Each structure stands twice: as C-alpha cells, then as structure tokens.
C-alpha cells in the first residue's frame, strides 16, 4: 500500500531477512542501539512475528513481536529499508509501544 501501512501479516522470506538483519544491527551496535539492549534477549526467543509495511522512498516495516516473556509479552520494532540504489537498513524504534 502506497502511503499508509498495509495489513498485518506473517513474514515473507524477504521480510524475515529484514527482521533478522535488524536484530543483528541491534546486537552488534555498541552506542546508538544501547537503549534497546534490555530487549535483545526477547528477540532471541520469540514466539511469533508479524509485520505491516509502508511504501515510501523505500519501505517502513512495523514488526509486531510476540515474546515468550510474561513481563514483556509484546515488542514493536520499526525499521526503514532504503531503495535498491541506497539499500540502507535503519532500526528506528524497538519497544513496547506501537505507533504504526
């Protein structure tokens, strides 16, 4: 869907790749992603992931992650993927609040 987010759905193969790459970015980053470090263990052991996608000058992904934690049963991760000529991947948010 151009403009707004599409429907929430289970991940395609490409969306799974984006999710996995975003998790790697969070795990490997020492400074910018430090604020997300408390959520890293939940990303290693999750029950289910679904996503909504927004087409812009690239793609915005809003991942809805069902965790195995009773304290934090759900996480949301927003990721931007640039266009093919500039295929940057940026994690914009990881936390318990959804704004997409």
| Structural domains of the chain, with CATH | 9-95 (3.10.450)
Helix (H) or strand (E) holding 72: none
Over residues 63-91, mean pLDDT: 93
Helix (H) or strand (E) holding 41: helix 40-44
Would you say residue 95 has pLDDT above 90?
Answer: yes
Cα 11 to Cα 99: distance, rounded to the nearest angstrom:
19
Would you say residue 1 has pLDDT above 60?
Answer: no
What's the pLDDT score for residue 30? 63
Confidence at 31, pLDDT banded by 50, 70, 90: low
What's the pLDDT score for residue 10? 98
What's the pLDDT score for residue 66? 97
**Sign of the torsion angle spanned by Cα atoms 87, 92, 93, 94:** positive
What's the pLDDT score for residue 45? 84
Would you say residue 48 has pLDDT above 90?
Answer: yes
Closest CA to 90 of 80, 100, 82: 80
Tokens of 36: 């997300």
């Amino acid at each position: 869907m151009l403009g707004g987010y599409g429907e929430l759905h289970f991940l395609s193969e490409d969306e799974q790749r984006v999710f996995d790459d975003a998790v790697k970015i969070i795990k490997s980053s020492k400074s910018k992603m430090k604020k997300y470090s408390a959520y890293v263990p939940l990303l290693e052991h999750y029950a289910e992931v679904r996503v909504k996608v927004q087409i812009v000058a690239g793609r915005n992904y809003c991942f809805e992650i069902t965790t195995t934690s009773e304290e934090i049963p759900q996480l949301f991760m927003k990721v931007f993927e640039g266009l093919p000529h500039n295929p940057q991947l940026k994690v914009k948010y990881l936390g318990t609040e959804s704004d997409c």
